[in-house]
Structure 1
């Protein structure tokens, strides 16, 4: 089928070639071209279903890894709020401080700036954060 779609007509198979290929697929059995095409479509559909299922399983595995990492790094209540997409309610924890930041007007700033200006702004801002963090006994997770 892919050969039939070729941009170059010289690369496309002739009808005799196609007929021969169908004959080899059918292994000499008598069947119509439509039957052969239906069988091929069924096989393609089945293969596609298998591929979708495999990719879905991979996605689920990655989601589980992400959730496990999140729950290892953050307190349970914070991790749940982040997963749910809700506001994280401030809480007190003896061993950790979690800081979430928002740059007020960032959407407008970035709309009015060149891409490299936005990159430079963020780089400067987080370099300042890093300098403050380095002067204290803290561990930063980006």
Structure 2
């Protein structure tokens, strides 16, 4: 194609040369240019569909892993609300209160820190939290 665009006409291939090049692409079979182009487009489309299908399957597997982890960590009703993008309203019970917390900026902090620094940060944070809990009549379940 690039040769066909050459400014100097003597540098452009003749139609016979183009047909011969297409014959080599088609391994000597006699086909016309349009058939060859359509066949190449169909092959490209098929390859693209296969790639999209493959990536969609990979995405679905990762989504299932994420949902499984979420439901293992949180009560089902809380997990479902979070998946829908809803806020989870605190609930109170006469004998128990559940407390869920979020560390603002944790993703950014984690990305900019070494793994051991993240572990130390969480350890220090929850040690302080445990000390505060210890001064009240509460019991923490990990």
Task: Give me the TM-score of the superposition, normalised by structure 2.
Answer: 0.59
CA positional deviation for 1:26: 1.8
**1:99 and 2:101 equivalent?**
yes
Which secondary structure does the structure 2 equivalent of 1:53 belong to? helix
With over 3 angstroms needed to count, the CA separation of the structure-2 counterparts of 1:18 and 1:138, relative to structure 1, is farther
Shift of 1:98: 1.5
Report the equivalent of 2:72.
Answer: 72
Aligned twin of 1:133: 129
Q: Residues of 1 paired with 2:80 and 2:124: CA distance?
A: 30
Computing the radius of gyration from Cα coordinates, the structure with the larger value is: 2
**Cα offsets for 1:54-112 (capped at 9, x unmatched):** 11111111111100000001011110111010010213586963124669xxxxxxxxx
Tell me the number of residue pairs that the alignment of Structure 1 and Structure 2 aligns. 112
Deviation at 1:22, TM superposition (A): 2.2
Partner residue, 2:37:
37
Provide the C-alpha distance between the structure 1 equivalents of 2:20 and 2:127, rounded to a whole number of angstroms: 72
- What is the TM-score with the length of structure 1 in the denominator? 0.59
Could you say what secondary structure the match of 1:89 adopts?
coil
Could you tell me whether the CA contact under 8 Å between 2:23 and 2:29 is conserved in 1?
yes
CA displacement at 1:27 relative to structure 2: 2.3
- Consecutive unaligned residues of structure 1, counting only runs of 5 or more, are 5-13, 104-118
| CA positional deviation for 1:47 | 0.7
- The alignment yields a C-alpha RMSD, in angstroms, of 3.9
**Structure-2 separation of matches of 1:90 and 1:101:** 17
